[in-house]
Structure 1
Amino acid sequence: MIDPMHDASSTPDNNTPAAGHESLAQLTAEIEIHSEPFRRLINEVGKTIVGQEGLIGRMVIALLAGGHLLIEGVPGLAKTTAVACLSKGISTSFQRLQFTPDLLPADLIGTQVYRPQTQEFVVQKGPIFANMILADEINRAPAKVQSALLEAMQERQVTIGSETFFLEEPFLVMATQNPVEQEGTYPLPEAQMDRFIMKVVVDYPNRDQELQILRRMSKTNSKIEVESVTTPAEIMTARELVDRIHVSSPVEEYIVDLVMATRNPAAYGMDLAELIQYGASPRATINLTLAAKANAFLSGRAYATPEDVKAIAMDVLRHRVIITYEAEAEEKTAQDIVRTILQTVPVP
């Protein structure tokens, strides 16, 4: 996996733009300056969260790419704490929504309230009107509540009654979910899964990390102390720079090949057709490109490399590949299929 903190001066010749070196150098200088607060943000969150460096990096990449993040793991792995720490590192509005089986869409987006004094209905906005939303245990709420997020996540707007309200940028949903095998969970609809730029699967910490967690957190008054190191304005400026990051034709073709291989694996010499019910959508191509550019931004580079793409591809594709019953019978997962594709499709 590519290290977003590695030296930005290591420029591979085969992926560097052939022309416009002066503008590339200028863009690199801008990126080095504006990416520094986000590297500090990673360090700030890392002071509290132990053993989840991959998750922290993915949260910042989602923030830079303007996409929503889905985090899956069993209870107790600091998923909620990680998102709360990230929000503390940004001077912005934050709302935590605990999804439960009795939650209603109005509890999320708001509703119209009748005022007898004026004999009028007025809109009472819900907690969705914040820059950062933590949708905690999103798959413990029924589908009607999950689908209430769709318009907000995709269109950056919500409709209450006959009125439409635009959400203030940056708007980011970070959702946590328990594994679907657990009791009391509802599988997320495919349409909503596709709205998340990445799905990160959080695993248990290793022994050394567990010991570090014990020494740091085994106190009755453990507090989250994260210094605010960036602002919404800096996030929007960073996103503009991410949009300007160069993606060469070979890297673009590599991205397309990875996505196409999920739909037609036989064309790439893989016998996976019976295991894949649906491949990744065109949204995967867009999100993989954005995430790769955000990864390059954190590295201080003005261009994306195949390594950026490969480092992020598993998290972008794993929730977009829908497997067949044959795959389940063979105990194959979407992650196994994506791993095979990454190992097979040639890297430029």
Structure 2
Amino acid sequence: MTTEPQTPLTDERARWAGEALRTAADAVEQAIQGKRRVIELVLATSMAGGHVLLEDVPGTGKTALARSLAQVIQGTSSRIQFTPDLLPGDVTGITVYDQKQGVFEFHAGPIFANVVLADEINRASPKTQSALLEVMEERQVTVDGQSHPVGSPFMVIATQNPVEQAGTYRLPEAQLDRFMIKTSIGYPDGAAMMRILQRGADPEIEPVVNTGTLLQMQEFARSVHVSPLIADYVTRLVEATRRASEVRLGASVRGALSLVRMASAWALANARAYVTPDDVRDLALPVLSHRLVLEPEAEFDGVTAEQVIGQVLLDVDVPRENGTE
């Protein structure tokens, strides 16, 4: 685990990090046309050290997003197609006996990359899902009693197809909670579609930063100032999700921590060394919605977690002071 930064975050460093993220977003947008907010959310999640769950239909650019992100940071990428017969060892790697050397050697699986695309994660068995989610949490693989760190930076972008649910294994709430945000790319608008058709869907992306730069940005994000007013606001939002009549299970403590971490990265992406209430409000939906479990009656009536979060944002008073206090 990386250590906390020893010096406070200066405005100059915040501006540098914000400019670096904008440059990276510009580069990724060459491959993912017309989806600036999604790109910025994913980049901010990488700065916060989290993982992304994309719920999207096939062909919207999920693989291109993961590959482009890896190219931008000069990192490695891998893609794992989850299927019902996929085994945990197919993800993490296995130990093989070398007869010539007379020793067991670990053969690393595709999880050992800076950016890992776990495609259609809900098609794999719960055992295989758990193997991936354990790596996401622990940042290491344990095989035959030996631990193997996956390296840093490390980010998983998992996908689910919301349409085809036959033969799938729904992610349990405890595992959904491991993802820092849930979002979707969606189809491009007409103008973006024209640009894709004219230029092609797989342009070459030039690296604009490197993995060392991303690690430094992660360190800066951890030192963004979060005032007591902001912490209180996040606390009240999370507690409000638990009190909502339509909700059986509200946002967890991990959800509150994820919201603060994402808000800190979002502030840094906007060249600020402090979090504001608007940062929290901008991110409440992608960070909290997938963590709510609704009452069956509410689901039957068509209520969604997104609607609950929207109502909570309306009901909870916003701090009048900004995050610099």
RMSD: 1.7
Q: Distance in 2 between matches of 1:195 and 1:71?
A: 13
- TM-score w.r.t. the length of structure 1 is 0.85
Instruction: Classify the secondary structure of the residue corresponding to 1:199.
Output: strand
Q: Distance in 2 between matches of 1:87 and 1:100?
A: 24
Matches for 1:133-212 after TM superposition, within 5 Å = 133-179=116-162, 181-212=164-195
Q: Match for residue 324 of structure 1?
A: 295
Range moving further from structure 2, 316-325 or 337-346? 337-346
Q: Match for residue 51 of structure 1?
A: 34
- TM-score w.r.t. the length of structure 2 is 0.91
Number of corresponding residues: 313
Q: Match for residue 13 of structure 2?
A: 30
- Which one of the candidate residues 183, 202, 218 is aligned to 1:223? 202
Q: Is the 8 A contact 2:30 2:203 kept in 1?
A: no
Q: 1:276-315, CA deviations, whole angstroms, 9 ceiling, x for partnerless residues?
A: 1111110011110010111110111111100001001100
Q: Is the 8 A contact 1:35 1:238 kept in 2?
A: no
Q: 1:140-191, CA deviations, whole angstroms, 9 ceiling, x for partnerless residues?
A: 2121111101221111111101111222111111112111653343211222
Q: 1:301-335, CA deviations, whole angstroms, 9 ceiling, x for partnerless residues?
A: 11110000100110000110011211121011111
- Which one of the candidate residues 245, 259, 262 is aligned to 2:238? 259
Q: Match for residue 269 of structure 2?
A: 298
Q: Match for residue 214 of structure 1?
A: 197
Instruction: Classify the secondary structure of the residue corresponding to 2:84.
Output: coil
Q: Name the % identity.
A: 42
Gaps of 5+ in 1: 1-22, 266-272
Q: Which amino acid aligns with 1:306?
A: P
Q: Distance in 1 between matches of 2:109 and 2:41?
A: 27
Q: Distance in 1 between matches of 2:95 and 2:27?
A: 40
Q: Distance in 1 between matches of 2:171 and 2:37?
A: 23
Q: Distance in 1 between matches of 2:202 and 2:163?
A: 31
Q: Match for residue 3 of structure 1?
A: none
Q: Match for residue 334 of structure 1?
A: 305
Q: Match for residue 71 of structure 1?
A: 54
Q: Match for residue 15 of structure 1?
A: none
- Which one of the candidate residues 250, 256, 259 is aligned to 1:279? 250
Q: Match for residue 281 of structure 2?
A: 310
Runs of 4 or more, structure 1, over 6 Å off, are none
Q: Match for residue 39 of structure 1?
A: 22
Q: Distance in 2 between matches of 1:125 and 1:341?
A: 45
Gaps of 5+ in 2: 1-6, 320-325
Range moving further from structure 2, 98-107 or 203-212? 203-212
Q: Match for residue 289 of structure 1?
A: 260
Q: Match for residue 94 of structure 2?
A: 111
Q: Match for residue 316 of structure 2?
A: 345
Q: Distance in 1 between matches of 2:12 and 2:100?
A: 59
1:61 is aligned to 2:44 = yes
Q: Match for residue 211 of structure 2?
A: 232
Q: Distance in 1 between matches of 2:316 and 2:184?
A: 23
Q: Distance in 1 between matches of 2:27 and 2:149?
A: 31
Q: Which amino acid aligns with 2:198?
A: R
Q: Distance in 2 between matches of 1:201 and 1:91?
A: 24
Q: Distance in 2 between matches of 1:329 and 1:118?
A: 62
